[in-house]
Structure 1
Amino acid sequence: MADTGGSGFPLLMLHGSSNCKEVFLPQLESPLAERYRLIALDLLGHGQSANAEYPGPAYTLTGFAESAADVVAALGVKRMAVFGWSLGGHIAIEMLARQPIIAGLMLTGTPPIAPGPLGMLRGFQAHWDMLLASKEHFTERDVARFHHLCFGDHGSTEMLGAIARADGRVRAIAVNGMMRGDGADQKRTVETAEVPIAMVNGEHEPIVRLGYIDGLDYQTLWDGRCHVIAGAAHAPFLERPEVFNALLNRFIANAESYRQPVPIVLPRSA
């Protein structure tokens, strides 16, 4: 786990499938770490975290959300913003449905989908490389293809190693669970959220249907629009960190100061 510490408002960062916390180095090693407490963990089956002893429940969105909540509770975090990328975004939405301590949610490369296969078809693009997202056993060629899907030309040997190291059962279990509709209704959770929801994606996003993202019925969409970062694809926080970090800085500050509106109760007429 990476924890920059300090007294700044906490931000939990959740990485994507078959990746690791080091994907967030452009944030962890930026001035953001001087202003906020940035927390990035390796999900079970990834990076320096162990593979799950009981992968069936642990590698579902619910299982990941519960384990991430346990980590932040152990750190003494009482209120925080969350940034989720790809699979990490789906886990973050699951946390939002369960954890009242979340003050704001930023999603990248994550379509908040309704349960079941139809929801997935509406939110995700359909092409051959997408089949890798649920493939348990990777060949060397699969590792390279998945690396390119995630990062295009902005990857690294470290990220290749992270993909090769990841427990492939995560891909099979997590995606199959989403197909079954396990966990919260993510579309409804995001559309009815009472905290700021920031949508930040790359212009050339290869996995998510940006039209679907734009068409959701948000109640608390941050800035009143979905942000698209020019020249970036699935990982804009890595590909265009100077642009992304400026948005993230402003979002964390807004989430920290956000207060839910108090409903107005009109007196009953006599």
Structure 2
Amino acid sequence: MKNFHLNYVKKYNGSLSILFLHANASSLESFKYQFSDESLKDYTLWAIDLPGHGDSAKAENPSEVYSIKSMGEIIAEFINQNISQPIVIVGSSLGGNIAIEASSKINNLNGLFLCGTAPLSRLEDLGEAFLPHPSNAFSFLDVPNEDQLNALCELAVGNFNQHYQLIKEEIKRSDNNFRSTLLSNITQSLFSDEKEILSELSVPVAILQAENELVVNLDYLKKLKILHLWKNEIQLLNGAHHFMHLTHPKEFNLLLNDFVRELIR
């Protein structure tokens, strides 16, 4: 996994870093409202295109790279090589699973901020962790058609259709091999016990859930045992959708600011 080319952006130069990890078939562009928000200018902001996404490299050996476990190793390696400051990782959906996977391998982790993420322990969790929406299966298609692309946009942002073009472009730019390979690797349980990691993790963990979530099951999240759950409860964003950082950036950024400020008090 060493020297896998990851595209990234960096902004500002604060004493604490915030690193953003995007969802399946998305890119770092999805965090544009976080990078344009001056309320976050006191921190060093980083965002990475996951392997096979955006301008990051496509894997020559997809089955070895496109798993939660392998991508967690790649992200941890990037952080340890490039970021010496204390760091908070913001993970959207799959990005949150990768953040959990990476957490035990990061030297300077101060917190996890997870949004629209369903932590998994075993393959059997999938049925309870995710809602039975018919469009969820489209997330693992190599080449979704136009109707399926529209359905995926609706899953991510509901009727906030000003974001549809960006989401479609990100899906089309991503490696067609990524989604089916990821699913295959998930069915082979190529991920750590994420629930156990959260139950033992020594840093604060924020869990955000959108009111209009169509992907992750809130009842499943409520059963998680997290050692240091921020505010001792899941944070619900009224009116928001799965990509809450896009549909409700103001509310999202306020919560992120609150979380980070509590860490550095």
Query: Normalised by the size of structure 2, how large is the TM-score?
Result: 0.91
Tell which deviates more after alignment, 148-157 or 85-94. Answer: 148-157
% identical aligned pairs = 27
Secondary structure in 2 matching 1:35: coil
Output the aligned Cα RMSD: 1.6
Secondary structure in 1 matching 2:41: helix
Tell which deviates more after alignment, 239-248 or 152-161. Answer: 152-161
The counterpart of 1:127, out of the listed 133, 141, 147, is: 133
Query: Are 2:182 and 1:174 equivalent residues in the alignment?
Result: yes
Q: Letter of the 2:102 partner, please give it.
A: M
Query: Are 2:262 and 1:234 equivalent residues in the alignment?
Result: no
Counterparts of residues 8-27 of structure 1 (less than 5 Å): 8-27=15-34
Indicate if the aligned counterparts of 2:116 and 2:209 stay in contact, CA closer than 8 A.
yes
The counterpart of 2:191, out of the listed 183, 188, 192, is: 183
Deviations 1:61-97 (A, max 9, x none): 1221122223223323343110100110110110113
The counterpart of 2:263, out of the listed 207, 230, 255, is: 255
Extract structure 1 runs of 4+ deviating beyond 4 A. Answer: none
Counterpart residue number, 1:140: 146
Query: Normalised by the size of structure 1, how large is the TM-score?
Result: 0.89
Secondary structure in 2 matching 1:159: helix
Secondary structure in 2 matching 1:174: helix
Indicate if the aligned counterparts of 1:115 and 1:182 stay in contact, CA closer than 8 A.
no
Deviations 1:166-217 (A, max 9, x none): 1132211222222322121011111222110100111111000001111212
Counterpart residue number, 2:5: none
Indicate if the aligned counterparts of 1:133 and 1:175 stay in contact, CA closer than 8 A.
no
Query: Are 2:121 and 1:114 equivalent residues in the alignment?
Result: yes
Counterpart residue number, 2:98: 91
Counterpart residue number, 1:160: 168
Quickly say closer, same or farther: Cα 1:119–1:2, change in 2 above 3 A. same
Task: Give the Cα separation in 1 of the matches to 2:231 and 2:171.
Answer: 34
How many residue pairs match? The answer is: 256
Tell which deviates more after alignment, 25-34 or 195-204. Answer: 25-34
